[in-house]
Amino acid sequence: MTYLFFLLINYVSGMPLHAFHVSVCEIEYDEKQRRLEITHRIFLDDLEITLTDWSGEQVDVLNPSDPKKLDQMIGKYLTERTSYSINDKSVNASYIGSEKEESVMYAYQVISNVKKVKSLKVTNTLLMETYDDQTNIVHIENGDRMKSLKLSGSETWGEVRFD
């Protein structure tokens, strides 16, 4: 448990070298705007290798020759590798964009027209096709309640309930 905590602290701190494969997804329900705001944090080197394999093109996330094309590629990849169901109804997340910060890519999605979140099912297979040890941690905030999922291996989806 201490080792996992240390690894997560290193990930959040943005240390460029890592011997583990993890992404963190934060989902927050904005009741006033009636939407789910989704932020994915992915190591740049892991994303670059995965996008290169996935697209069949050489990808450079640090210095892309066409930043708009890279952003579109990230959006398409996220759309293919994540899915969501709210209150047992499948919903589409819209890709908003991405930004780099040190060794991490932040990628954003939003789900609009959400009246209330009683349950949320999340499928997240980001980077799992590249790394057998990939773990995707998902934190869901709904008002003052926070729940988390750990997705890895054959467990590529999870569900939380707030009722």
| Contact by Cβ (8 Å): 26, 136 | no
DSSP for 101-155 reads ETTEEEEEEEE------SEEEEEE-TTTTT-TT-EEEEEEEETTEEEEEEEETTB
pLDDT band at 20; cut points 50, 70, 90: confident
The predicted pLDDT at position 103 comes to: 93
At position 96, the amino acid (one-letter code) is I
Lowest mean pLDDT of 14-18, 46-50, 156-160, name the range. 14-18
